[in-house]
Amino acid sequence: MRLKTSNLLWGAFFILIGVGFAGNAFSLWDFNLFFSGWWTLFIIVPCIISLVQNGFRTGNIIGLAIGVMLLLSSQGLIDSAVLGKLIVPFIFVLIGLSLIFKNLFQSDKGIHSNINYQGGSSEYSAIFGGNTYVVSGEKFLGTTMNAIFGGVDLNLRDAIIDEDILINATAIFGGIDILVPDNVKVKVSNVPIFGGVDNKAGRNTDPNAPTIYINSTCMFGGIDIK
């Protein structure tokens, strides 16, 4: 059975923690999980997994950068006052770079790698805020969604979906709502870290109905599918 990339990475992460504590038992080293800024791992690790799973995206890059900066601040390597002044301009710089180099770094890897992901019209993101997007009367080909300390609503009720598509979704301290039409089926693959996916989409029994495949990572956040 082929292991999912996210499961492999999380498994390796917990194995390293177990080995660290085992080394303490044999006095091989002094391993302490609760180092200064340990809580930033709950931001950094999911973002790294999202990078591996979904490729370079604005949301996961910004989340990783924020997590690393907070870790450096907790370690005393960056002054907290300076950090507070740098976060906002740093986010704008990353957004600008992602727009300039979007096609260069775009990657469409995912758990549902057998789906012909065609990129959709854009990347739907909300960072420290909220955004609502409506696709109506247009063919929808899949997309990437990121909610980091914010919320994203995507309304596909009137979108044209006549083939299998893929949506990569990441919610970190935020939420994502996806409204889907009645003529589709929805299949979800999720990495939950103190969060999860609530799939309330109707159960379409038509074997020929197009399927929306959703690769998701939820860390202190959630995704609602209706």
Q: What share of the chain is helix, strand, coil (3-state, %, to 5)?
A: 35, 25, 35
The pLDDT value recorded for residue 154 is 92
Q: pLDDT tens digits, residue range 82-96?
A: 777 777 777 677 666
Q: Is residue 207 part of a domain?
A: yes
Residues 156 and 67 in one domain: no
Residues 128 and 100 in one domain: no
Do strands 165-172 and 211-219 pair parallel, antiparallel, or not at all (unpaired)? parallel
Quote the domain boundaries for residue 172: 123-225
Is residue 60 pLDDT above 80, yes or no? no
Q: Exposed e or buried b for every residue in 80-111, given b needs 16+ CB within 10 A?
A: eeebeeebeeebeebeeebeeeeeeeeebebb
Q: How many domains does the chain have?
A: 2
The pLDDT value recorded for residue 178 is 93
Is residue 180 pLDDT above 50, yes or no? yes
Q: Is residue 110 part of a domain?
A: no
Mean pLDDT (the chain) is 77
Q: pLDDT tens digits, residue range 134-150?
A: 888 888 888 888 888 88
Is residue 127 pLDDT above 50, yes or no? yes
The pLDDT value recorded for residue 95 is 63
pTM here? 0.53
The pLDDT value recorded for residue 96 is 66
